[in-house]
Amino acid sequence: MATQARPARARPLWLAGALVLLAACMIAGMLDGAADISPWQVVLQVADWLPFTHVDSGLAPVEQGLLFELRLPRVLVAAVVGGLLAIAGAGYQGVFRNPLADPYLLGAAAGAGLAATAAIVLLPSASVPVAAFAGAVGGVFLAYTLGNTAGRSGGTATLVLAGVAVTSFLTAIQTVLQQLEVEKLQRIYAWILGDLGGGWDQLLLVLPYAAVSAVLLLLHGRMLDVLSVGDEEAAGLGVRAGRVRFVVLLAASLATAAAVAVSGLIGFVGIVVPHVVRRLAGGSYRIVLPLSLIGGAAFLVLADLVARTVLAPAELPIGVVTMFVGAPFFVAVLRMTRRVVT
Partner 1 sequence: MRPVRTVLAGALLGTLALAGCGQTGTTAGPAAPSSAASSTAPAAGGFPVTVEAANGKVTIPKRPERIVSLSATHTETLYAIGAGSQVVAVDDRSNYPPEAPTTELSGFKPNVEAIVAQKPDLVVVSDDIDDIVSELGKVNVPVLHQPAATNLDEAYEEISELGAATGHQAEAGKVVADMKSAIDDVVSKAPKDAELTYYHELDQTPYAVTSKTFIGQIYGMFGLTNIADKAPDAAGGYPKLSAEFVAQADPDLIFLADVKCCQQNKEALAARPGWKNLSAVKNDRVIELDDDIASRWGPRVADLAKSIGAAVADAARAKTDGAS
In a 3-state reduction of DSSP, which class is residue 156? coil
Residues 325, 328, 334, 338, CA torsion sign: negative
Question: 92 vs 191, which CB is nearer to partner 1?
Answer: 191
Interface with partner 1 (CB under 8 A), residue from 61, 238, 340, 341: 61
- Contact residue for partner 1 among 5, 18, 26, 37 (CB under 8 A): 37
CB of 315 to partner 1, least distance (A): 5
| H or E element that contains 81 | helix 72-96
Please identify which residue in 201, 204, 208, 219 interacts with partner 1, judged by CB under 8 A.
201
CA 253, 259, 260, 262: dihedral to nearest 10 degrees?
150
Measured from the CB atom, is 137 or 203 closer to partner 1?
203
CB burial of 125-155 (b: ≥16 within 10 Å; e: otherwise) equals eebbbebbbbbbbbbbbbbbebbbeeeeeee
Total residues at the site for partner 1 (CB under 8 A)? 39
In which region does residue 282 sit, left (phi positive, over 0), alpha (psi from -120 to 50) or beta (all else)?
left
From candidates 15, 21, 66, 229, binder to partner 1 by CB under 8 A: 66
Instruction: Specify the residue, 225 or 304, whose C-beta has the smaller distance to partner 1.
Output: 304
Q: How far is C-alpha 167 from the geometric centre of its chain's CA atoms? A: 19
Name which of 66 and 280 has its Cβ closer to partner 1. 66
User: Which residue lies nearer to partner 1 by CB, 70 or 247?
Assistant: 70
Task: Tell me which residue of 44, 65, 37 sits closest to 309, measured CA to CA.
Answer: 37
CB-based contact 86:292 (threshold 8 Å):
yes
Applying CB under 8 A, the span of 32-40, 82-90, 166-174, 329-337 interacting with partner 1 comes to 32-40
Which positions from 261 through 320 interact with partner 1, judged by CB under 8 A? 308, 311-317
Say whether residue 324 binds partner 1 (CB under 8 A): no
Site for partner 1 in 170-199 (CB under 8 A): 179, 182-184, 186-187, 190, 195, 197-199
Q: How far is the C-alpha of 292 from the C-alpha of 269, rounded, in Å?
A: 10
Residues that bind partner 1 (CB under 8 A): 33-37, 61-63, 65-71, 73, 124-125, 179, 182-184, 186-187, 190, 195, 197-201, 308, 311-317
